[in-house]
Amino acid sequence: MIEFRNVTKLFPDGTIAVDDFSLVAPSRKITVLVGSSGSGKTTLLRMVNRMVEPTSGGVQIDGEDIVNERPVLLRRRIGYVMQNAGLLPHLTVADNIAAVPKLCGSSHRAARTRALELMETVGLDSHMADRYPSQLSGGQQQRVGVARGLAADPNILLMDEPFGAVDPIVRAELQQELIQLQRELDKTVIFVTHDIDEAFLLGDQVVILATGAKKLQVGSPSEIIENPADDFVAAFIGVDRGRRALRIKHTPNGPVLVDTEGRTQGTLVEDER
Ligand SMILES: Nc1ncnc2c1ncn2[C@@H]1O[C@H](COP(=O)(O)OP(=O)(O)OP(=O)(O)O)[C@@H](O)[C@H]1O
Ligand SMILES: [Mg+2]
């Protein structure tokens, strides 16, 4: 379990990227952080592996405050898949993946064997092992990024828009593979995206964020779809899902969300508005 406890991040230039954010990401579930650009998603993710230190508040993993752990050791047990795969251009595919087990002390040979295993796990043909990242398609590069994230066999996987840079078909493939992989590997995943469809597809728990990492709503996909916390969330999930936007209709029983045909799509909780 990963717990953010009242974390705030004030950057030196005065930007408040994260303002008093608290959340529990349950073990062996996928928590998706979704929100527009600049809402603080990457900052939150990087607090978990201490690439960003909170200005106040703290992060706990299984009840232990991570400030007590050396960042190098912490990062060895947390996989991190960066936006745009983040591969090293001068290393081959196998060496990009093997870099992680080597850091953890594996021999060159063992690290390469592990890299080839992981390539299979993420659906990459072994004949690509000695290619360079520039010789792969975008989707293949993303797979290498995921393989590298898994390389240390971490219990925790942080994924920052890992499928952002590929076309919709490849993206759908990668999403299905992640679902499959998660069934087998059972990791605690925090996944960042700005795509609400992706959030609802992958998330056991979905966290909708606004600027300052303000939580607009936290819940399972069905909880959010059936009962959006406010009309902003309703519009966000309606518009982005390719549906016609929902609107609020005031009824004797309180406000409800209706679609353009007038069908009720959910209710609004009065005291949250
Ligand atoms: N090192 C930094 N110094 C100053 N401001 C920063 C720094 N890093 C991030 N920020 C600011 O903090 C806010 C949150 O940034 P963050 O990268 O967490 O957003 P994000 O939700 O990941 O956005 P995106 O979807 O575009 O990746 C933004 O306003 C950003 O400009
Ligand atoms: Mg980001």
What's the gap in Å between 35 CA and the centre of ligand 1? 12
* pTM summary value: 0.84
What's the gap in Å between 8 CA and the centre of ligand 2? 16
Which of 32, 43, 81, 159 has most ligand 1 atoms within 8 Å of CB, for mutation?
Answer: 43
Ligand 1 atom nearest to CA at 194: 25
Report DSSP state, residue 244. P
> Which residue's CA is the nearest one to ligand 1's atom 11?
17
**Tokens 């060159």 belong to residue:** 108
∠ CA 180-204-200, nearest 5°, is 85
Q: Choose among 107, 97, 185: nearest CA to 148.
A: 97
Which of 13, 39, 80 has most ligand 1 atoms within 8 Å of CB, for mutation?
Answer: 39
What's the gap in Å between 37 CA and the centre of ligand 2? 7
25 touches ligand 1 (CB under 6 Å): no
Hey, what's the torsion of the CAs at 161, 167, 168, 174, to 10 degrees? -60
Which of 4, 41, 214 has most ligand 1 atoms within 8 Å of CB, for mutation?
Answer: 41
40 touches ligand 1 (CB under 6 Å): yes
What's the gap in Å between 17 CA and the centre of ligand 1? 6
> Which two structure tokens, joined as six digits, stand for 267?
């209710």
- Residue-level pLDDT, tens digit, the chain, 273 residues: 999 999 999 999 999 999 999 999 999 999 999 998 899 999 999 999 999 999 999 999 999 999 999 998 998 889 999 877 789 999 999 999 999 889 888 999 999 999 999 999 888 999 999 999 999 988 899 899 999 988 888 899 999 998 877 778 888 888 998 898 888 888 999 999 989 999 999 999 999 999 999 999 999 999 999 899 999 999 888 854 544 455 566 677 766 666 666 667 665 544 433
Distance between CA atoms of residues 40 and 4, nearest Å: 13
Residue 51: what pLDDT? 94
26 touches ligand 1 (CB under 6 Å): no
Q: Choose among 244, 219, 86: nearest CA to 165.
A: 86
Q: Are 29 and 205 in contact (CB under 8 A)?
A: yes
Distance between CA atoms of residues 146 and 161, nearest Å: 11
> Which residue's CA is the nearest one to ligand 1's atom 30?
38
